[in-house]
């Protein structure tokens, strides 16, 4: 039973986008590894940008600089 955990920042991914990710990852596992879609688990976790760091800085801080 495959378990896939996708972590993204909580910057407005829509329910439709998340559904597309779930379907796509499930299909990829089926096509690539012959895994049963009925037993494939996909979890999407949305992480606040204050809790996600890149290069020693939070994504919140990095986003402020690019605006």
Q: Which residues are catalytic?
A: 2
| C-beta atoms surrounding 40 within 10 Å | 19
Q: Which of 9, 12, 17, 6 is nearest to 41 (CA)?
A: 6
State which H helix or E strand residue 9 sits in.
strand 3-9
């Amino acid at each position: 039973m495959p378990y896939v955990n996708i972590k993204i920042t909580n910057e407005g991914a829509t329910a439709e986008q998340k559904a597309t990710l779930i379907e796509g990852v499930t299909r990829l596992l089926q096509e690539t590894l012959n895994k049963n879609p009925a037993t494939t688990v996909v979890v999407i976790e949305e992480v606040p940008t204050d809790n996600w760091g890149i290069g020693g800085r939070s994504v919140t801080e990095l986003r402020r600089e690019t605006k």
